Amino acid sequence: MFQTLYSYFWWERLWLPANLTWADLEDRDGRVYAKASDLYITLPLAFLFLIVRHLFETYVATPLAGLLNVKEKIRLKATPNAVLEKFYAATTKHPKQADVELLSKRSGCSVRQVERWFRRRRNQDRPSLLKKFREASWRFTFYLIAFIAGMAVIVDKPWFYDLREVWKGYPIQSMLPSQYWYYMIELSFYWSLLFSIASDVKRKDFKEQIIHHVATIILISFSWFANYIRAGTLIMALHDSSDYLLESAKMFNYAGWRNTCNNIFIIFAAVFIITRLVILPFWIMHCTVVYPLDLYPAFFGYYFFNFMMVVLQSLHIFWAYLIIRMAQKFITGKVVEDERSDREETDNSEEEEEAAKNGPLSNGHPVLNNNHRKTD
């Protein structure tokens, strides 16, 4: 049965145009082609990335945080309370007023003490500023190096300037060593992101992030199997072109460099919109949807590859909406927080509680002004 499934999975008509077989992509005459077995190396490389990340965050990002004066905010811990802890873990982290009153009776605490306990308990679960800075530093470093390496791989290739060259001679297109390593490193990195996503900083778009990582891994892997390598390198470089800007803006945000963060974020927003909402759909996707049909009839691989491109593009539109909202607030001078993140709840002293209680409120939180540090 396994052999039957294996045969169906690698059926040529799923992966290659009509009248072509895997035999046509066997290495010969000095020409080397992509093979599925090449991707086995990406899993051990992904774990190597996790080790390198740990070392980088410990010996590079942490000292850098100290140099940039990234300071942890003092958080008061919630007093141990079995009744409240059980409700927090099993029911909800945000109890309604009726639940608060019931918990007050069951725990022997006042309503105000219950509300304060839940605020402090939620803050305990939020990632520290140092954790956020270290994560942003690691991603910034990788994305910047990957973008530079990606441009070095494709900038001298004819298909970088003429997208019709992407399909010239397809699928009999020999693989270059630089393309091999670019693919292996990119795919390994996204595997490492997927492996570490449970322990990384969780944001409101957690589910979208999982979808993005899985879709990216599938798209990179499939493009390798089907020898869509030229298109794949263009797509990967295009994505890396804006990611390092976002991570650098986060780093300056955590360091309290508000003006620098604002300026970098505006540049990031412009690059993101141009690359993800203009170049990708109107150049790259046009290249993958229209040009191949001039050479061969559509087949399953053609439809599957472009379907995954549509999934990624849908996520880009979702994130572009959040980015435009944030950029609009930057331009109008309003305080901007990462739309994907939960806000730190102020509860460090009785004075702050009174200020929050008596001062202007917005959704239960004090209204912030431009003199406050932004939180991611």
* Tally of CA atoms within 13 A in the half-sphere of 197 that contains its CB: 17
Residue 137 lies inside a defined structural domain of this protein: yes
Residue 200 lies inside a defined structural domain of this protein: yes
Which of 63-72, 277-286, 291-300 is most confident? 277-286
- Residues 326 and 273 occupy one common structural domain: yes
Residue 280 has which token pair?
């990708």
- Residues 63 and 179 occupy one common structural domain: yes
- Residues 248 and 103 occupy one common structural domain: no
Closest CA to 164 of 355, 292, 259: 292
pLDDT (tens digit per residue) in 187-205: 999 999 999 988 887 777 6
Instruction: Give phi and psi for 361, each to the nearest 5.
Output: -120, 150
> How crowded is residue 13: how many other Cβ atoms within 10 Å of its Cβ?
12
Instruction: Give phi and psi for 31, each to the nearest 5.
Output: -95, 130
The pLDDT confidence band at residue 338, using thresholds 50, 70 and 90, is: low
Residue 338 lies inside a defined structural domain of this protein: no
Residue of 310 and 370 predicted with greater confidence: 310
- Residues 99 and 212 occupy one common structural domain: no
The pLDDT confidence band at residue 333, using thresholds 50, 70 and 90, is: low
Residue 74 has which token pair?
């003092």
Q: Distance between CA 361 and CA 355 in Å, rounded?
A: 10
Q: Distance between CA 230 and CA 233 in Å, rounded?
A: 5
Closest CA to 203 of 132, 302, 103: 132
Residue 8 lies inside a defined structural domain of this protein: no
* 90: containing domain: 82-125
> How crowded is residue 67: how many other Cβ atoms within 10 Å of its Cβ?
8
Looking at residue 97, which CATH number applies to its domain?
1.10.10.60
Task: Quickly count helices (H) and strands (E) in the chain.
Answer: 16, 2
pLDDT(33) > 90: no
pLDDT (tens digit per residue) in 80-139: 888 888 888 888 888 888 888 888 888 888 889 888 888 888 887 777 888 899 999 999
- Residues 113 and 149 occupy one common structural domain: no
**CA 141 remoteness from chain centre:** 14
Mean pLDDT of 128-154: 93
Residue 183 lies inside a defined structural domain of this protein: yes
Residue 277 lies inside a defined structural domain of this protein: yes
Domains of the chain: total: 2
DSSP state of 361: E
pLDDT(359) > 50: no
Contact 345, 123 (CB under 8 A): yes
Residue of 247 and 98 predicted with greater confidence: 247
Burial of 374 per CB tally in 10 Å (0-12, 13-18, 19+): middle
- Residues 200 and 308 occupy one common structural domain: yes
**Global model pTM greater than 0.85:** no
* pLDDT given at position 183: 96
